């Protein structure tokens, strides 16, 4: 690119001065930042070196040695320690299975990288922002605004990872734990510093609710209206109970020898009569 400037010579006639493009030095510097990647022939909104480098990392991952070095360099400490992944509360940890703990470990690692990224971007943003830059260059102001928007989105992603980690853990808790987790906030612990207090408060609320529920059920049982059919059944119930008791009190009839004789006595009498008649005929 050739940039033309008008300069005034001592004779007073203007002349054209050519400047060499400064793209070569800037591209070399950006290449050092993002690594040596093949440049694209298209004209993207991103710098080609940065575009290809990020595309390769997104699809294949960052080199492990480089990643470890960057995580150590931008580890959140001191006043930005809140960017570190929240730890699982001690009250919650005994309720988790080995699978849940392993899954949360991987999610915590991802959240750790997000926190380190926020630290790096925010540090660079703080170095770039100055009143002189914002007032003198509209392009610089626009670039700073884009970086700020990216930082905000990345911070929201950090919050979303905390919600995702908690969502996988909540099914392992009982009803009190689930109720307390609804109002729990995020800090250095995944369920908040005062999670035990939240559980105790939920337990008290449950007891009060149970007492109120019992008081509501008692009047409905006492003053429940009865129909005519139910009233008749209630009136006849004492008679049925008395009759049933009387039946149960009577023992079954005993079949004694006298009872058998009575049952068989007509036959014996007939036999005696027939014998007496035959004797008289003779």
Task: Indicate yes or no: pTM above 0.85.
Answer: no
Contacts of residue 20, defined as CB under 8 A and 6 or more positions apart, other chains included, come to none
- Provide the percentage of residues in the chain whose pLDDT is more than 70: 59
Beta bridge partners of 3: 19
Residue-by-residue DSSP string for the chain: --EEEEEE-TTS-EEEEEE--SHHHHHHHHHHHH---PPPSS--SS-HHHHHHHHHHHHH---HHHHHHHHHHT---GGGGGGSPPBPPTTTGGG--HHHHHHHHHHHHHHHHHHHHHHHHHHHHHHH--HHHHHH-HHHHHHHHHHHHHHHHHHHHHHHHHHHHHHHHGGGS-HHHHHHHHSPPPSSBTT-TTHHHHHHHHHHHHHHHHHHHHHHHHHHHHT----HHHHHHHHHHHHHHHHHHHHHHSPPPP--HHHHHHHHHHHHHHHHHHHHHHHHH-
Highest-scoring range by mean pLDDT, 41-45, 175-179, 206-210:
175-179
- pLDDT, tens digit, for every residue of 81-102? 999 999 999 999 999 999 999 9
Q: How confident is the model at residue 203 (pLDDT cuts 50, 70, 90)?
A: confident
The CA distance from 172 to 100, in Å, is 9
Structure tokens at 131: 């009143």
Task: Give the pairing type, strands 14-19 and 3-8.
Answer: antiparallel
* Range in 10-14, 157-161, 207-211 with the lowest mean pLDDT: 10-14
CB atoms within 10 A of CB 217: 8
Q: How many CA atoms lie within 13 A of 133 on its CB side?
A: 13
For residues 30 and 49, the answer to whether their CB atoms sit within 8 Å is yes
Q: What is the mean pLDDT of the chain?
A: 76
- pLDDT, tens digit, for every residue of 230-264? 666 666 566 566 666 656 555 566 665 554 555 55
Mean pLDDT value across residues 60-73: 94
């Amino acid at each position: 690119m050739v940039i033309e400037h008008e300069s005034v010579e001592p004779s007073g006639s203007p002349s054209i001065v050519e400047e060499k493009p400064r793209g070569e030095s800037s591209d070399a510097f950006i290449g050092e930042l993002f690594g040596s990647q093949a440049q694209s022939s298209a004209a993207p909104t991103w710098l080609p070196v940065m575009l290809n480098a990020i595309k390769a990392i997104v699809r294949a991952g960052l080199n492990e040695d480089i990643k470890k070095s960057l995580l150590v360099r931008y580890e959140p400490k001191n006043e930005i320690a809140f960017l570190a992944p929240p730890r699982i509360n001690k009250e919650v940890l005994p309720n988790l299975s080995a699978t849940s703990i392993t899954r949360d470990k991987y999610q915590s690692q991802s959240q750790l990288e997000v926190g380190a990224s926020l630290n790096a971007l925010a540090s660079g943003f703080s170095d770039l922002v100055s009143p002189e830059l914002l007032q003198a260059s509209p392009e610089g102001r626009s670039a700073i605004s884009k970086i700020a928007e990216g930082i905000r989105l990345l911070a929201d992603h950090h919050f979303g990872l905390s919600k995702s980690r908690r969502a996988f853990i909540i099914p392992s808790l009982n009803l009190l734990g689930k109720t307390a987790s609804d109002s729990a906030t995020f800090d250095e612990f995944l369920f908040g510093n005062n999670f035990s207090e939240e559980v105790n408060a939920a337990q008290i609320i449950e007891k009060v609710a149970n007492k109120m529920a019992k008081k509501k059920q008692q009047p409905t049982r006492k003053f429940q209206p009865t129909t005519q059919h139910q009233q008749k059944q209630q009136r006849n119930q004492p008679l049925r109970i008395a009759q049933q008791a009387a039946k149960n009190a009577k023992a079954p009839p005993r079949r004694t020898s006298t009872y058998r004789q009575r049952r068989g006595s007509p036959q014996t009498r007939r036999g005696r009569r027939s014998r007496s008649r035959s004797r008289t005929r003779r």
